[in-house]
Structure 1
């Protein structure tokens, strides 16, 4: 094979090795790449052997190829390059800085880095930011000069795809995912081989998910479920199922809000890593730990409503979140008294429930929350229901291709007094002073549950399900 190429995997029988293999290696000189490979137990003359050198499977040759639909394909095996937010982001399939794509009903798998890219264009400044906040701010300024606005970029629909076996991200997008909808996707086995490291690994990793909706997705067996990094403003994360992720289900990093997280099932060991302000969390089930910390070392942007224009830059002091009508589940009475530091940084605090916000600079807003099995409320939360001795024992069960949640509830949970969650209740975050509204600027109301059923208009049930009853319940969740 002549020339200097990116060679990433040798596939035997269509599947990569589960761990880095000593069965193949390469040597590269000025004009040749030579591969030595062994195939124990496999005849390479009869089985599929693919040497991956293509950077992508479906990707436009230049930006601005708008309104393309990609539907019903099986797309696999690409030697995609690393896709940081400060460079051109090439995926197995990607939109390449465009508008109005529909990517639906596809099987996308075995990308060395990213599966679907909704990311930025490339230029001479790619990979020159030195991994600094200031460098990414310059990237944003150049993007604004290069057409990053509501009229020309984003508005993509990514739905009903199965995305798996990617080493960086199932879906990645820096700036180019704004104003988009990502729904109905199954995303699993992302960065499970740990072939390399970096700060961009997740089932979904977006920078600047402005007015983007992430809805009805199933994300599991990833290193981190959903990572919203910088400029999640007007973003909504609703009715998603997260479980068996080795890292946190949701990471919100250096955002100023408003963004809304509602009707989700967070069932991994860590439900939420919150390094943002201005988030609203309503009717979620948090079965894992919550980690909170400020971020004073970086100044990041906020925007006018529904716009990519930069209104200002500031850091994250912590707090100023809203938590209404959620259910938090601990790991027993011992967790009710254990205050857990999660790193050597004393500003990190983690545990079950909202007590982790007790030391944040700005207060949070709360109401209608339920704390079970050792989960603890915020220190100034007077109306919380706390049942330290009650363990609802949530568990996912696979049945005939369905995923069901088994959970028990105490009568006290069903008798809780709550208020409907609306734009009026949520107010405005302290930094952006932009209201919690829909992308079309209409008021928000959390008036349906995880299953799409109507909520009680005056006293909705806490948690994701409006129809829960006392005792054990089995609910199909996927």
Structure 2
């Protein structure tokens, strides 16, 4: 018999857990709820890390944790700190015994791990004033005269960029930890911390099982915040503020998730398959350990039957230092949609090669669609084994970069997206299909011959082989490319010199001596047709059907009006003269290395017959993601 447990701030953990006699903590309910049960949490602030002890048994017999309807429920990884003592010049201090933190003191742990590139001694701790996180200084002296930063270095581009929140940068903290105590100093400026809400994060997560294999859990309707999550590379344990911890079938929906020191939602790996061995042992590169982690994962059950198949939907995720969503291996066969992800990695207190709104490795058959990304260091980064992955109908704007696909062999689909960053696309992969997108910004296209990565049997985690990334084997149909002043590399001209069919490629390779060496010398085929190029964007030299107007500026703008977002652009009079055919499994050539077709996760044919707004498309329709685009002025609601 399914049971409803209730949790409320006026409850007791020795009560029955009924609506009339609720539990006090969510963890009490989490210790006894079993398959089919529902835990209803009533209004209030809960400072705990929820550790579900039992699994659901199937998609229909899951354990649900849900905020009571119409009630605001907040779960925090922080504690409210009082009794601050003023020292000098608006600097206050508080001293806490190390026992206050238990086994995990984030103020004593530096940000560390594989692919951390820049960290000037910063820690996992954080201080919050009325919900706003502070900046950690490198010395006590810097607290006394903090300069308001107006610019910071973007470590990806080595360019100086404006600070996201200049007011926030003047609020700073510094900590000293000895054998017995942790002393935190903070510059509160005009605020008295004993009269305001001041919090420090003390827990690694707020909803994360200690054990693996806790399947079929739903987490719905909460505000989840302020966790001291560690750096989460693909070669380490990857705890998030919330996550399934190497389990199957979680649903994370309708939540507001924010202020994770590193990653908010993790659908990634666990510790037995490797934990920062390259940084700790220094005997092999992270690349080698990442390959090993794939095989270790297979030994501990990395399969569709055991992990993945998560749903992450309708969440708002913001103010995180590394990722909104992260995952390696455990993200397989998942669906991520209708999420609003913003303000990711903009504080720039530290930097490494694992930062994005969504950063996934081995996202086999994962579907990422209808999400909104803005004000992120990078929108989506799909790295290694991007196979069967579909990135569709997403909105990107005001990001430093929008999309990065790296060292993967496909097949993967990028369709009906709106990408608007000056640096719109990093394509360091092969075997992709880019269909019906707006791409306003440059593309960096690279081959990667020194890092062969795995590919798989279709719709499986079983490894079928390894391949270097030769570049090419890409398909570009029905896209709108838009350049801008001082932007180079917009469009498809960087494929000039590539072969244009598999037959031509094979014939050309035959002319070269040797075995694998011959394939290094010949550019893979590309399939490019029926795209539009405006305002300096340039086309592949062998594209037959296209619109190319180098001097026409569509004046594309993304306009926010409250919770709604609009696309504004102007298109030339002959825009509707070139129509694009609906692309599908039948029309998209199979990828060369993996020898696989573009299919849906169930192995069925895929047909790209609905536009960005979900409207059914005609057999032939205008180029770009929205079927209703027309010549002249366009003003289209694209979110909200």
Same fold (TM over 0.5): yes
**2:216–2:249 Cα contact (<8 Å) kept:** yes
Distance 2:185 2:539 in 1: 59
1:110 paired with 2:271, answer no
Mapping for residues 234-273 of structure 1, pairs under 5 Å: 234-246=388-400, 248-273=401-426
SS at the partner of 1:123? helix
Other structure's SS at 1:94 match = coil
Tell me which of 119, 123, 133 is aligned to 2:272: 123
Bigger drift between 121-130 and 375-384 goes to: 121-130
**What residue in structure 2 maps to residue 378 of structure 1?**
540
- In the alignment, the residues of structure 2 paired with residue 400 and residue 114 of structure 1 have an alpha-carbon distance, to the nearest angstrom, of 27
User: What SS class does the counterpart of residue 405 from structure 2 fall into?
Assistant: strand
The Cα shift of 1:22 comes to 7.2
Specify the alignment match of 2:250 in structure 1: 101
Match of 2:483 in 1: 330
Of residues 146, 157, 182, the one that matches 1:33 is: 182
> Are the equivalent residues in 2 in contact too, given 1:175–1:209 (CA < 8 A)?
yes
Unaligned runs of 5+ in 2: 1-95, 99-103, 108-124, 135-164, 279-283, 499-522
1:284 aligns with 2:434: no
User: The residue matched to 1:302 in structure 2 has which SS?
Assistant: strand
Secondary structure in structure 1 of the residue aligned to 2:288: helix
> Which residue does the alignment assign to 1:91?
240
Task: State yes or no: 1:150 paired with 2:304.
Answer: yes
**Equivalent residue, structure 2, for 1:365:** 527
Q: 1:414 aligns with which of 560, 576, 600?
A: 576
Map 1:75-474 → 2, pairs under 5 A:
75-123=224-272, 125-129=274-278, 130-246=284-400, 248-331=401-484, 351-359=489-497, 361-457=523-619, 459-474=620-635
SS of the residue corresponding to residue 418 of structure 1 reads strand
CA positional deviation for 1:293: 0.6
What corresponds to 1:2 in structure 2?
97
Q: What SS does structure 1 have at the residue aligned with 2:463?
A: coil
Deviates more, 1:411-420 or 1:304-313: 411-420
The alpha-carbon deviation at position 400 of structure 1 amounts to 4.0
**How much does 1:131 deviate?**
4.3
Tell me the distance in 2 between the aligned counterparts of 1:20 and 1:82.
22
How many Å separate the matches in 1 of 2:270 and 2:497?
41
Q: Which has the larger radius of gyration?
A: 2
Q: TM-score, normalised by structure 1?
A: 0.94
For the residue of structure 2 that corresponds to 1:439, the secondary structure is: coil
Task: Tell me the number of residue pairs that the alignment of Structure 1 and Structure 2 aligns.
Answer: 461
Q: Is the 8 A contact 1:258 1:278 kept in 2?
A: yes
Partner Cα separation in structure 1 for residue 317 and residue 630 of structure 2: 35
Q: Distance in 2 between matches of 1:87 and 1:64?
A: 18
CA distance in 2, matches of 1:243, 1:2: 45
The CA deviation at 1:21 is 5.8
In 1, are the aligned partners of 2:171 and 2:189 still within 8 Å (CA)? no
Cα RMSD over matched residues? 1.5
Distance 2:415 2:273 in 1: 40
User: Judging changes above 3 Å, is the alpha-carbon distance between structure 1 residues 166 and 131 closer, same or farther for their aligned structure 2 residues?
Assistant: farther
Q: For the Cα contact (< 8 Å) 2:222–2:255, is it kept in 1?
A: yes
Partners of 2:172 and 2:335 lie apart in 1 by 42
CA contact (8 A) 2:317 2:342 kept: yes
1-structure distance, mates of 2:497, 2:473: 12
1:133, 1:299 within 8 Å by CA — same for their partners in 2?
Answer: no
Q: 1:164 to 1:435 in 2, by over 3 A?
A: same
Kindly tell me: are residues 400 and 222 of structure 1, through their superposed partners in 2, closer, same or farther at Cα, counting changes over 3 Å? closer
* Aligned position for 1:15: 132
Structure 1 unaligned spans of 5+: 341-350
Cα distance in structure 2, aligned partners of 1:145 and 1:375: 48
Deviation at 1:23, TM superposition (A): 4.0
Contact 1:133 1:300 (8 Å CA) reproduced: no
Kindly state the Cα deviation for residue 69 of structure 1 after the two structures are TM-superposed.
0.3
Q: Does structure 2 conserve the Cα–Cα contact (< 8 Å) formed by 1:20 and 1:195?
A: no
The 10-residue stretch of structure 1 (119-128 or 179-188) with the greater mean CA deviation from structure 2: 119-128
Deviation at 1:207, TM superposition (A): 0.3
1: CA distance, partners of 2:497 / 2:297: 37
| Superposition deviation, residue 411 in structure 1 | 2.7
Change (3 A) 1:291 1:359: farther
1:269 offset after TM fit, Å? 0.9
In 2, Cα distance between equivalents of 1:225 and 1:127: 25
